[in-house]
Amino acid sequence: MANKCRPIPRLTPMSPIPTFLVSRGELIKPVKAVVFDIYGTLFISGSGDIGTEATATANSAELVSLFTLHDLESSPASLRRQLHDTIRAVHQTKKESGIEYPEVDILEIWERILGWPDAEKIREFAAGYELIVNPVYPMPDAKEVIAYCQSADIAMGILSNAQFYTPCLFEWYYKKTTTALGFQSDLCIYSYQLGMGKPEQALFEICASRLEKKGINRSNVLYIGNDMANDIMPAARSGFQTALFAGDRRSLRLREKDPRCFGVVPDLVITGFGQLVKMIDHFD
């Protein structure tokens, strides 16, 4: 079987854009597990989040090159409309089945649209397309925080809106799998695998249940994300301590007018991962 994380050529360096927030807060209880969001938290997201295409127009020449490489006659704009329409239809079907915040498997979507018999070719196209419309790059000091948690025997997990190529980001940029970096496989919860996306509360309850089976109480879990509605609100409802990552203006989502977030206050606000170790360490 071909390596699902085969090297992708387009890995564009980026830097976070500072926000107006300042770090603040204090953890209430010792941290025995840290669960991370990915897009906009562990990785800079050029469009702010997975599945959005703020940079699609700016990178239209690269899309044309990708289409030419794969002998696609459709224009990027036409295919983008088809992609959005297909995703919208799948979302509607899942909502009718009772899933409030549905998620698609992007491979199944592209298979419907492209109709290619070669699954590996579809994977390559899907990953290439995503890296053009939503370029990513490691957030500064994220790798050091991951290494700290691993060395301090703090359990690590991921709970993120994601697709098949999302775990590959670690291999492409860090040259290591998530497991090699110290993430526990059963604590890596990716939306596309469960057919539902954040802020679906069930995702956080699944995570909490798996942590409890390891003897880790919810109040000793720190969840880190950049979105008050998708990350902080559901994590707090599940009993986790929370840290709002406010290190990049592209992806910071305060949701100040969202009634779901009224009264929700993160335990921490951090503007860079370099601040996190001291905040976790202060119980020692």
Nearest to residue 26, comparing CAs of 208, 269, 237, 245? 269
Determine the average pLDDT of the residues in 173-190.
97
Is 3.40.50.1000 the CATH classification of the domain at 24-50+136-281?
A: yes
Residue 265 is predicted with a pLDDT of 97
| pTM of this prediction exceeds 0.85 | yes
Taking only the tens place, the pLDDT of each residue in 89-106 is 999 999 999 999 999 999
Query: Residue 187: which residues within 8 A CB-CB, separation 6 or more?
Result: 33, 35, 155, 156, 157, 158, 207, 210, 211
SS3 65: helix
Q: Which two tokens stand for residue 27?
A: 């953890």
